[in-house]
Amino acid sequence: MKKNHREMKIGILTFHNAINYGAVLQCYALKEFLAQRGHEVQVIDYRNPYTEDYKKILPWVPLLEEKGIVGKLKFIIKSVFLYSKRRRICKVFKAFVDYRLNTTPSYHSASEIPTTFDCIVFGSDQIWNPRLCGGFDPVFYGQFYKGRTKFVVYAASLGNPSLIKDFEWNEIGRLIGVFDCISVRELNLKHAMENRFSISVTQCIDPTLLVNPDILSGIAKSPDIGDYVFMYNVQRDDAAEGFADYISKKINCKVVIGQSKPQMRNLRKNQNHLLVEMASPEEFLGLIKNAKIIIGNSFHSIAISIALKKDFYSIDCRKPERVKSLLNQLGLIDRHVKSTYRNIILKNVDYSIAERKLAVIRDSSINYLKEAGLLMN
């Protein structure tokens, strides 16, 4: 059967192999979105050294960041004790990657990236954040043989642009010339890049909000634990559990705490709370899908809550810029609160306005992909 001339062989380069629910789920969402448009889509199995470091018995990067001999010694002891748990969670995520993502063989450097694709999509997620990649990863900046391949950036992020130093901006400006078109996830990054480089940058929505929500809910594995409030934090917040307990008492249900990175000790202050360690990405989706309310400071836990039209509270944290940017766009900034706050009048999220705003951003993102030649007009 002859291929439609608009069908393409597309590779995706992103944080698909991190032990992070948001990373693997945004990759899955983008892969499914493009595959449903008739493309042959593969996730390029590039192993970023920083991502892979976590899986070692002794993660080298965080060890170097520990201060003093005592701090480093404690970290070594902790790493050895937690290794068996880390191996189990790595196995859980590997199963998702192997089964859901349709990956290429593994590659470890820019020179190994294949050039057999019609297009490579870079993103989404923080692939340009030098603090997550050990500097500017040449793979995520397209620093390899391009040939006739189209290089398209979709909803890339680098974290907080205000933390990027001038010499780093200079390096970014030098590297991005290889891309045929660029879109970023956050509005402040769009403005920063346009102002610094005098180029056109499109703001696009995260793939978890681009794709039909049935794609995510369709693979969710529902828990059998009754009614609950689900809390998931990626940044430590000692007051967050108390906030979750406060909300749960208002609606008379239990608290379920999700945790992807194993700890030396149980972080729960209340032994009546249920701790879920090492859930699969499908189980993570199920915990969000079936919760009465989601509470967290993770960007993707909030984005997926919005995609599935769930009630949620976004908890303020040290690095709130990405989630606040999303909430501001959708008119939902009133759902962003401090974990010490105890004067909440519970009300459901009003999605009537948010859905209209989301539809506009989604349409803009789809138009970007059309202009990039990835979708039919």
> What Cα–Cα distance (Å) separates residue 243 from each residue in 227, 310, 323, 328, 344?
17, 18, 19, 23, 10
| Lowest-confidence pick of 57-71, 92-106, 315-329 | 57-71
- What's the CA gap between 104 and 107, in Å, rounded? 9
pLDDT band at 320 (very low <50, low <70, confident <90, very high): confident
Amino acid at 63: L
Question: Is the CB of residue 354 less than 8 Å from the CB of residue 331?
Answer: yes
pLDDT band at 78 (very low <50, low <70, confident <90, very high): confident
| Lowest-confidence pick of 34-48, 144-158, 341-355 | 341-355
Q: pLDDT digit string (tens) for 194-238? A: 999 999 999 999 999 999 999 999 999 999 999 999 999 888 778
SS3 120: strand
- What's the CA gap between 362 and 177, in Å, rounded? 26
Q: pLDDT digit string (tens) for 239-298? A: 888 899 999 999 999 999 998 776 655 545 566 788 888 899 999 999 999 999 999 989
Residue 1 has pLDDT above 80, yes or no: no
Q: Percentage of the chain with pLDDT > 90? A: 68
Closest CA to 159 of 182, 192, 181: 192
Q: pLDDT digit string (tens) for 355-373? A: 999 999 999 999 999 999 9
pLDDT band at 64 (very low <50, low <70, confident <90, very high): low
Listed in order, strand segments (DSSP E) in 1-135 are 9-13, 40-46, 103-107, 119-122
| Lowest-confidence pick of 36-45, 75-84, 136-145, 271-280 | 75-84
Question: Is the CB of residue 368 less than 8 Å from the CB of residue 181?
Answer: yes
**Higher per-residue pLDDT: 377 or 187:** 187
pLDDT at 5: 44
pLDDT at 132: 85
| Sign (positive or negative) of CA dihedral 20, 165, 189, 117 | negative
Question: Could you tell me where in the chain the CATH 3.40.50.2000 domains are found?
Answer: 214-346
Residue 61 has pLDDT above 80, yes or no: no
Q: Give mean pLDDT, residues 24-33.
A: 97
Residue 193 has pLDDT above 50, yes or no: yes
Most confident residue range from 76-90, 186-200, 226-240: 186-200
Residue 14 has pLDDT above 60, yes or no: yes
pLDDT at 289: 97
Average pLDDT, the chain: 89
- What's the CA gap between 238 and 83, in Å, rounded? 24
What CATH class does 214-346 carry?
alpha beta
Question: What architecture (CATH level 2) is domain 9-210+360-371?
Answer: 3-Layer(aba) Sandwich (3.40)
| Sign (positive or negative) of CA dihedral 331, 335, 341, 347 | positive
> What Cα–Cα distance (Å) separates residue 42 from each residue in 4, 31, 103, 217?
18, 7, 5, 22
- What's the CA gap between 376 and 243, in Å, rounded? 47
